[in-house]
Structure 1
């Protein structure tokens, strides 16, 4: 007599693997699109830099919180898959990919607003550079996350 129990356990595992791959791909793709295509095109095509900056800031805000939600979902999926022991690198990449934009949003955002309000454009530019570096780190760690999750699947 053949049991179906092992097959029954395989189906949820495949669903969890697919869900992790889907979320990582969605997250990385949206991050790369906003950072590498949309934001630069806003500045290249809109006649006012201030408007381009406002639109880019809104997109980065959305991208940051999308990343936080996806990071939470990924951590929950990894917990359901019991993949933490074998995949601490993936966990750290999730934290880095979500944490860098979150630091930009929560720490640098208010500082950039204050610098802009004070018309201290040198300080604003320096903070903007740090923010850009954090988003670049997130893009690179998203690439590593795609690679690591595909290896694990």
Structure 2
């Protein structure tokens, strides 16, 4: 029963992550003429997504360490940790770069952040793959 719940939680997590990364953020930049506003809105969605991942990932890890479910802990930690690192470490650095007008540095940091979110997207894909395999 809890294994099914874990699968559903990861499926929700994957869907929300892929929707933000693959649809919402690119659409904001395609639709809005004000790129700064598009960036602010995308940043807000990434902020929300980061905490969804931390919440679901944390719950899965707690249940796993308590012996209630079996999940590949490394992939859970990567899927939750990549966006969290982006938010806590790169976010302030990107804000500093933008405030200083150092758009080259901002662009480089933004690229690293994008790679981290791609890593999270791939990590939840691996999680879904592993959780959907028949036991045995």
- Contact 2:78–2:123 (8 Å) recurs in 1: yes
Aligned residues: 134
Note the residue ranges of structure 1 that are not aligned, 5 or more in a row. Answer: 1-13
How far has the Cα of 1:73 moved from its partner? Answer: 1.1
TM superposition outliers: structure 1 runs of 4+ over 3 Å: none
Q: Name the counterpart of 1:45.
A: 31
Q: Name the counterpart of 2:54.
A: 68
Find the aligned partners of 1:55 and 1:126 in 2 and give their Cα distance: 20
Q: Name the counterpart of 1:128.
A: 110
Q: TM-score, normalised by structure 1?
A: 0.84
How far has the Cα of 1:152 moved from its partner? Answer: 5.8
Find the aligned partners of 1:28 and 1:45 in 2 and give their Cα distance: 24
Note the residue ranges of structure 2 that are not aligned, 5 or more in a row. Answer: none
- Contact 1:23–1:70 (8 Å) recurs in 2: yes
1:107 corresponds to which of 84, 89, 92: 89
1:81 aligns with 2:63: no
1:30 aligns with 2:16: yes
- Contact 1:20–1:77 (8 Å) recurs in 2: no
Find the aligned partners of 2:134 and 2:61 in 1 and give their Cα distance: 15
How far has the Cα of 1:151 moved from its partner? Answer: 1.6
